[in-house]
């Protein structure tokens, strides 16, 4: 149970960081920084998506 709570908190943190980096990418006008921020946003989005699918899979296994 504790492991699932940890992954939920980590998922929320990764999601918030993704949103913040995405906003920074549109605010900052320096192209190099913008490209790297967009890249980090995409990577964090992929990690968040993977974590979300793992949480759903764990919930599905718990219900069985």
- How many domains, in total, are found in the chain? 1
pLDDT tens string 2-58: 555 556 777 777 778 878 877 887 787 777 777 887 788 788 778 777 777 777 777
Q: What is the DSSP letter of 3?
A: H
Quick one: pLDDT at residue 5? 59
Quick one: pLDDT at residue 1? 47
Q: Do residues 15 and 45 touch, judged by C-beta distance below 8 A? A: no
Phi-psi domain of 30 (left: phi exceeds 0; alpha: psi -120 through 50; beta: other): beta
Which domain, by its residues, includes 28?
A: 2-63
N-to-C CA span, the chain: 16
pTM of this prediction exceeds 0.75: no
How far is 9 from 11, CA to CA, in rounded Å? 5
Quick one: pLDDT at residue 6? 58
């Amino acid at each position: 149970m504790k492991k699932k709570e940890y992954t939920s908190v980590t998922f929320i943190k990764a999601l918030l960081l993704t949103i913040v980096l995405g906003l920074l990418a549109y605010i900052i006008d320096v192209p190099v920084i913008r490209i790297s921020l967009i890249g980090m946003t995409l990577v964090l989005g992929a990690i968040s998506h993977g974590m979300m699918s793992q949480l759903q899979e764990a919930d599905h296994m718990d219900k069985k």
